[in-house]
Structure 1
Amino acid sequence: MSTSVDPTGPGASSRKVDDVADENLTVPRRRIIMASLIGTTIEFYDFYIYATAAVSVFPLLFFYGDEGSALLASMATFGAAFVARPLGAIIFGHYGDKIGRKATLVGALLTMGIATFLIGALPTYHQVGLWAPAMLTILRFCQGLGLGGEWSGAALLASETARPGKRAQAAMWPQLGAPFGFMLANGLFLILATLFAYDSTARDLNDPFLVWGWRLPFLLSVVMVAVGLYVRLRIEETPVFAKAMAGNERVKAPIGEVFRRNWWEIILGTFIMLATYGLFYLMTTWILSYAIGSAEVGGLSYGYQDFLVLQIVAITFFAIFVPVAGRLADRFGRRPMLIVVTIAIMIFGLSFRWWLSAGSMGTGEDLNVWQMLAFLAVGMSLMGLTFGPMSAVLPELFPTNTRYTGSGVAYNAASILGAALTPFVAAWLVQAYGVGAVGLYLAGLGVLTLIALILAPETSKKSLYTETAK
């Protein structure tokens, strides 16, 4: 459990918390917003182009077997990044808590960007055999390492420079990187698929899109990484972290310290994020595979390009509700707001069969487009409401000198439980039990998150400067 103490109390060795807040007011907010937003946008773009390709391209080019088996194998490599993310959180968190947020964020961005670029240059299974999926899995693992260190650093950059009483609103900027990155990734895939006149139902390996067109989103990421590096190299260290270092509060091994003093907060943070992760990867990766999949694997046989249009429209609801969530979390508190949203997610999960069954939704050209768009819009709205405050909630659970590590480990441990397995499990559930079982899976994740929220403390009034008790 946390043993941090308020620096305004007895034994404090530095200025009052109010002084830190006043100092934060001098931080150039526009530069902080840009650095936290553009970095997470790039990182999530890199992550999502893999997610999109894992459903529509990689089963054809990197795996051998029937359609269902290739899809499951591709989903398994998709999950490799989530196994790597907690390790990335530990590695980058170590340096983020020892040398600072700024330098560590640059390293995370480079790790993700280089891995993504190299994926775009890989040979396929038909060219080098099993080496192709092996190299793909390794680079996907490296993507996970980079993103594992990215999110918590960007969240701290925004939250540790926030004005008093506005922390959730300030911290929501890196959260917007998720919908923005998704829009860029899927928008680019949609443009390319349209330009190449790619027919996802034909599965012709000689199609120019499958030969080289799919590589362009991966290769172009190098340009975005260059822009992100330029922005991040121009920011300063956060005042909260600088003050902690001035007070000689650096610890030798942040990961050991956070597990020794804050193991309970890690557990709470992990399960608080669980339903958020499950919801998002059901509404993005799995739903794409379900919509464009053939009837033989329980899918709806809808066109790839047409469904990408629906997803891009729906993701705007995600972006809209992220800032709404920040305001609500500052006004009503983190716990009350998230408890209500989590209950809504559970109810939404229980309605999957009504929304998505082939008899209700239709298939192929007869698919009810407006019903599918409504389903996506509801899910993405809930995603914005649950994801928006997380960049304030998780950092607030941990003391300053282990906050990068602690929040990163909790966030990325949740990715294994809530995201790594979700597309794979959902694809299997559809084939074995029908689409209603996928909704029950989401509702189950919601129950676990609800329990964690009930047990968690309210942190909206907590100071982000904490001096660890010796």
Structure 2
Amino acid sequence: MSVLDTPLSAEELAVQEKRRKNARNAAISGFAGSALEYYDFFIFATAAALYLQQLYFPEAGSAGQLFSLATIGVAYVTRPLGALLWGHLGDVIGRKKVLITTLLLMGVSTFIVGLVPTYDQIGIWAPIIIIVLRLAQGLSAGGESPGSASLSAEHAPDNRRGFFASWTLSGVTFGIVLSSAVFIPLQLLPEEALLSWGWRIPFLLSALVTMIALILRRTLDEPEVFTETKQLNLVVKVPLLELLRRHPKTMLLVTGMSLFTMVNTMINVFTLAYGVDISGIDRGEMLLLISVANLIAVGTLPLWGHLSDRIGRKPVFITGAILQIVLIFAFLWALNSGGPGHTGLIWVLGILLVAGAYSMTNSVYPAFFPEQFPAQVRYSGMAVCLMLGLLLAGFTPAIAQSISGEEGNWFGVALLSAVAVGIACVCAALSPETSKIPTAELGRHENKRA
């Protein structure tokens, strides 16, 4: 009998079963926690696109919609700060405690948004409070998906990191579905009721959302690779300095790859307002299109993640990026040309863009980005680089609104998106393929070959 055929002892079987359970729990928690936290994060974006102009910027005139969309972007200013804070704590004290803290901060901030009086009630303090709460949301989001993705990838078997980590993004995408879908029945309310109290319901529901997520997240264990790092006294005191000293090229490439995320807010926020204001499409139909496209993406993301385990991260990421560039032009052209009663092509292109092309790159990065860094600085590296790239995503709706203008210049918006995605594509091509490297060896200098 060969060594490979030797039966495992009861203790070894128990260890294997525990590892499988941890990987499964991490994927479930990553999905649920990210879905519930990003429900909180994106209901603000939906509300900003549809209602906040009238409620909090009524005296801004034609610039009111621009100011309203800019409140989405301010959260992306604090996301890099959150990445520094939570990434540092996650690499030093552990992933689990940090993920519970970020969840609480997001839940409390979102609930309070639903209680803030309008501009007519308290004047300039209303938009100021809204912006402060949005900054708190950004601080929380700076640590959520990087921590969840890192934890899921570290718990996963070496040959299935792409599949298990992709569930974090399935959760984020499902959160986007919920954040759009929850506003659809509210469209049945009279306009006066919708603007006075109806729009607040999704924010107040975040209290229940937060409690569910906390229960799920408390079941997590710390990954073995992090536990071993602590036991071997390899924890880095200041992960950011270690990153800057030893991994500057990797940080630059991962930040560049992160720029593709601007397509997310371009589709889910800017085109929502564009379709209603410029193309004259019914608000409820635009919300339904975004919800359906993202719901399909919830299912396709793990499939793309699984494919990246089989053929590699780079082929999936780069193919998705190239397809995005093509489909962005087609989708925005159709949105500008179609209008109400001619939305069939818009639906087809929107679904192909969200559930197909964008999901390909989106499914890969939860494994691909943290795989570029060693365990000692993985959370920090993933968080800081992703959040720097997401700065563009945060201000994409406002930038796109400025480019589009009152005439609806769709080509300029598509060109902006193509440039950002193109940069991400080039950075991915210059990064090392990591899908076949064992988890314990990820990020070592000898593996830094493209």
Normalised TM-score (structure 1): 0.87
Residue among 240, 250, 268 paired with 1:265: 250
8 A contact 1:328–1:337 mirrored in 2: yes
Aligned-partner Cα distance in 1 for 2:253–2:442: 21
Deviation at 1:379, TM superposition (A): 1.5
Deviation at 1:352, TM superposition (A): 4.5
8 A contact 1:353–1:435 mirrored in 2: yes
Q: Superposed, which structure 2 residues align to 1:15-414 within 5 Å?
A: 25-65=19-59, 68-194=62-188, 196-198=189-191, 207-275=192-260, 277-293=261-277, 299-352=278-331, 354-357=333-336, 360-362=337-339, 366-381=340-355, 382-414=357-389
Residue among 425, 440, 444 paired with 1:465: 440
**Deviation by residue 1:346-400 (Cα, 9 ceiling, x = unmatched):** 122333453222xx313xxx44121221121122122211101111011001110
Q: Which contiguous aligned blocks of 4+ residues in structure 1 show a shift greater than 6 angstroms?
A: 467-470
Deviation at 1:39, TM superposition (A): 0.8
8 A contact 1:58–1:74 mirrored in 2: yes
Q: Which runs of 5+ in 2 are unaligned?
A: 1-12, 446-450
Code of the residue aligned with 1:271 in structure 2: it is G
8 A contact 1:23–1:239 mirrored in 2: no
User: What is the SS of the residue equivalent to 2:129?
Assistant: helix
Aligned-partner Cα distance in 2 for 1:164–1:24: 15
Deviation at 1:116, TM superposition (A): 0.5
Aligned-partner Cα distance in 2 for 1:407–1:66: 38
8 A contact 2:152–2:165 mirrored in 1: yes
**Deviation by residue 1:119-164 (Cα, 9 ceiling, x = unmatched):** 1111111111111111111110100010101111111221001112
8 A contact 2:114–2:201 mirrored in 1: yes
Deviation at 1:66, TM superposition (A): 5.5
Aligned-partner Cα distance in 2 for 1:33–1:444: 33
Does 2:437 align with 1:443?
Answer: no
8 A contact 1:87–1:145 mirrored in 2: yes
Deviation at 1:459, TM superposition (A): 1.1
Percent identity of the aligned residues? 33
Aligned-partner Cα distance in 2 for 1:36–1:446: 26
8 A contact 2:178–2:291 mirrored in 1: no
User: What is the SS of the residue equivalent to 1:406?
Assistant: helix
Larger helix percent = 2
User: What is the SS of the residue equivalent to 1:160?
Assistant: helix
Farther off after superposition, 456-465 or 138-147: 456-465
Deviation at 1:24, TM superposition (A): 7.0
**Deviation by residue 1:306-337 (Cα, 9 ceiling, x = unmatched):** 22122212222322320121022111111122
Aligned-partner Cα distance in 1 for 2:37–2:319: 30
Aligned-partner Cα distance in 2 for 1:108–1:23: 29
- 2:7 alignment partner in structure 1: none
Q: Residues 152 and 353 from structure 1, CA distance in 2 versus in 1: closer, same or farther, beyond 3 angstroms?
A: closer
8 A contact 1:334–1:458 mirrored in 2: yes
8 A contact 1:161–1:239 mirrored in 2: yes
Aligned-partner Cα distance in 2 for 1:355–1:30: 41
Aligned-partner Cα distance in 1 for 2:442–2:234: 7
**Deviation by residue 1:238-257 (Cα, 9 ceiling, x = unmatched):** 11111111111111111221
Deviation at 1:467, TM superposition (A): 9.1
User: What is the SS of the residue equivalent to 1:237?
Assistant: coil
Aligned-partner Cα distance in 2 for 1:306–1:454: 38
Aligned-partner Cα distance in 1 for 2:331–2:290: 17
Report the aligned-residue RMSD: 2.1
Normalised TM-score (structure 2): 0.91
Aligned-partner Cα distance in 2 for 1:468–1:420: 29
User: What is the SS of the residue equivalent to 1:351?
Assistant: helix
Aligned-partner Cα distance in 1 for 2:351–2:299: 11
Deviation at 1:63, TM superposition (A): 0.6
Deviation at 1:429, TM superposition (A): 1.5
8 A contact 1:59–1:67 mirrored in 2: no
Aligned-partner Cα distance in 1 for 2:23–2:425: 34
